[in-house]
Amino acid sequence: MHILVTGGAGFIGSHLVEHHLALGDKVQAVDDLSTGTRASVTLYQGNPNYRFSEADILSWEGLELAVANADRVYHMAAVVGMFRVLNQPIEVTRVNVLGCERVLQALVKTGSRAQLIIPSSSSVYAHAAPDNLREDADILLSTRNPLLNYATSKLTNEIQGRAYAQEHQLPAVMVRLFNAIGPRQSGMYGFVVPRFIQQALAGEPLTVFGDGSQTRSFCDVRDTVAILDTLAATPAAYGQVVNVGNDQEIPIRALAEMVKQRANSASALEFVRFAKAYGQDFEQIPQRRPILSRLYELTGYRHRWTLEQTVDDLIGFYRREAPGALHSRQAPRTG
């Protein structure tokens, strides 16, 4: 297969590249390296099946040719990460909405029948009750939520993906991603698991926002990319929105204690008010666990990695391969 990964130097994008190269596929990746890393590119430069273009998805002149040659497109290019989303609201809407639209138009213009994965986000659920995080639930976005621009941009991508699937019969699947984690993920933009691990290994306090009672569900990125691969090859999923994640949840304070224990760290826990970390208007989501019945019905997928295994792999990654990253964390906002 010929695979195109936009945002292919980013966290999930680079794992998709790795996944498909391991399968013997030809992979083209494009990334502007605004949050993706050149290290993710150099990992595969010696592979004859790999091509990389450094370009902005909004202006990349090679998009139509790449789409025309692709059997599958993963459109991962987007502005992501809590700190970046809060600090760059205009860029969030501009890149996320216009980038996805450009990919959809390229598919139609070239007559491509490439399978398409469009990532959305669990953020579209906003403050929905935990037992209502299912794909057919009504979406009610709070105008007071500082993540409104990000959630709206991702919901817009879903809506456009479904519209193009209906009107142009594109084999597209819209996936609501829940907290993918794993090797090569950085804590720099607000991702909690790598941030905890970096702090624990550096002997610094683990910064827990709020009282740590809020729960989250984390999915190993290797499960995430395997699920995306499976969904893209599942015709029954075309035109649908599907939750992708792991439905095992953990309080953030318990996560911090787990990281300390598995990293053999003596770091203390430091509790930081949400207002200090994210700004005065930030509204905390107390619980976030995906309902995965649609995913299981479509694919029968069963997760291979536990949270403990993923944490151990991340600890090993930072100890072996990224010691410099232990001192590259972005501090919480002070507004």
Q: pLDDT tens digit string along 285-333? A: 778 899 999 999 999 999 999 999 999 999 999 998 755 554 434 433 3
For the segment 269-283, the average pLDDT, to the nearest whole number, is: 70
Q: Which domain holds residue 176?
A: 2-180+219-244
The pLDDT, as a whole number, for residue 285 is 79
Q: Which of 25, 84, 93 is nearest to 58 (CA)?
A: 93
The pLDDT, as a whole number, for residue 332 is 39
- 176, pLDDT greater than 90: yes
The answer to whether residue 298 is domain-embedded is no
Q: pLDDT confidence of 245, banded at 50, 70, 90?
A: very high
- 282, pLDDT greater than 80: no
Residue 146, judged by CB atoms within 10 A of its CB (0-12, 13-18, 19+), counts as middle
Q: Do 78 and 103 lie in a common domain?
A: yes
> Where residue 282 sits, what CATH number does that domain have?
3.90.25.10
- 86, pLDDT greater than 50: yes
Q: Dihedrals φ, ψ of 138, to 5°?
A: -70, 135
The answer to whether residue 41 is domain-embedded is yes
For the segment 132-144, the average pLDDT, to the nearest whole number, is: 83
- 277, pLDDT greater than 70: no
- Contacts of residue 246, defined as CB under 8 A and 6 or more positions apart, other chains included, come to 178, 217, 218, 219, 220, 223, 290, 303, 307
For the segment 56-80, the average pLDDT, to the nearest whole number, is: 96
The answer to whether residue 299 is domain-embedded is no
Q: pLDDT confidence of 191, banded at 50, 70, 90?
A: confident
How many angstroms separate the CA atoms of 249 and 244, rounded?
A: 14
Q: Do 231 and 310 lie in a common domain?
A: no
Q: Which of 41, 40, 73, 39 is nearest to 57 (CA)?
A: 73
Q: Do 150 and 166 lie in a common domain?
A: yes
Q: Identify the weakest region by mean pLDDT among 11-25, 34-48, 108-122, 255-269.
A: 34-48
For the segment 246-272, the average pLDDT, to the nearest whole number, is: 97
> Where residue 169 sits, what CATH number does that domain have?
3.40.50.720
- 276, pLDDT greater than 70: no
Q: Quote the number of domains for the chain.
A: 2
CB distance 305 to 223 below 8 Å: yes
Per-position DSSP letters for 91-102, written without gaps between them? HHHHHHHHHHHH
For the segment 85-102, the average pLDDT, to the nearest whole number, is: 92
